[in-house]
């Protein structure tokens, strides 16, 4: 009489009930019910793919820019670095309001002078604040010149357009506060158009 491999085993010497697909008596690696090994997922199931480094926001610097290389070497931004970034935007927004934008680009320099670490995160926000509020200042001056010419040509009627000059500083105040609060939370968020240009720069204006 031929030997049977186990109770209820089918003819032909197949392994008994509950046996795995490998050699008789061996269990799959990892225990019964172990799933397939995840490819490229260190740490097991659910490991995030392409997660940013700790302390760097999702909207971080481009790998080709100066800020990405400098941030990788400097490590995560500290609370002091985030505070410097926040103050750069806050000072610029405050000077937009108090001086009608004439001295707004000087605000980020004040925050820069107060910082000793010069972390890339803080430098990014200082530099983009200088550029953005400098662009607003140049725009406001250009509008004032155009409106003055129109006022002269139209015998004063064009002077009504000077109201638009007052809207430019308000733009600086609103965006300064929005980006500043984001910076305080450690985000690399930037001003419209200007932020992405500064972030992708090969070298900052000041460092």
**Separation of alpha carbons 149 and 132, rounded Å:** 26
Q: Rounded mean pLDDT of the chain?
A: 78
- Residue 78 pLDDT grade (very low, low, confident, very high; cuts 50, 70, 90): very high
Letter string b/e over residues 9-37, b meaning 16 or more CB atoms within 10 A of that residue's CB: eeeeeebeeebeeeeeeeeeeeeeeeeee
Q: Can you give the pLDDT at residue 122?
A: 97
- Show the CA angle centred on residue 207, arms to residues 96 and 174, nearest 5°: 20
Exposure on the CB side of residue 101, measured as CA atoms within 13 A: 22
pTM: 0.69
Per-residue pLDDT tens over the stretch 109-160: 999 999 999 999 999 999 999 999 999 999 999 999 999 999 888 888 878 8
**Separation of alpha carbons 64 and 68, rounded Å:** 7
Per-residue pLDDT tens over the stretch 146-173: 999 998 888 888 788 888 888 999 999 9
- Residue 27 pLDDT grade (very low, low, confident, very high; cuts 50, 70, 90): very low
- Whether the pLDDT of residue 44 is over 90: the answer is no
Which has the higher per-residue pLDDT, 207 or 131? 131
End-to-end CA distance of the chain: 89
């Amino acid at each position: 009489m031929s030997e049977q491999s186990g109770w209820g085993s089918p003819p032909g010497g197949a392994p008994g009930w509950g046996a795995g697909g490998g050699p008789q008596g061996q269990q799959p690696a990892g225990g019964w019910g172990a799933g397939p090994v995840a490819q490229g997922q260190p740490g097991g199931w659910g490991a995030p793919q392409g997660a940013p480094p700790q302390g760097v926001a999702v909207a971080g610097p481009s790998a080709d820019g100066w800020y990405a290389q400098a941030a990788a070497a400097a490590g995560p931004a500290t609370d002091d670095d985030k505070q410097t970034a926040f103050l750069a935007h806050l000072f610029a927004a405050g000077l937009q309001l108090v001086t009608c934008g004439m001295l707004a680009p000087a605000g980020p320099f004040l925050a820069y002078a107060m910082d000793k670490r010069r972390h890339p995160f803080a430098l990014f926000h200082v530099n983009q604040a200088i550029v953005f509020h400098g662009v607003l200042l140049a725009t406001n001056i250009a509008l004032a010149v155009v409106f003055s010419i129109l006022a002269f040509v139209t015998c004063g009627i064009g002077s009504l357009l000077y109201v638009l000059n007052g809207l430019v500083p308000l733009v600086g105040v609103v965006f300064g506060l929005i980006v500043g609060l984001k910076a305080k939370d450690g985000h690399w968020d930037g001003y419209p158009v200007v932020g992405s240009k500064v972030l992708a720069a090969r070298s900052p204006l000041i460092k």
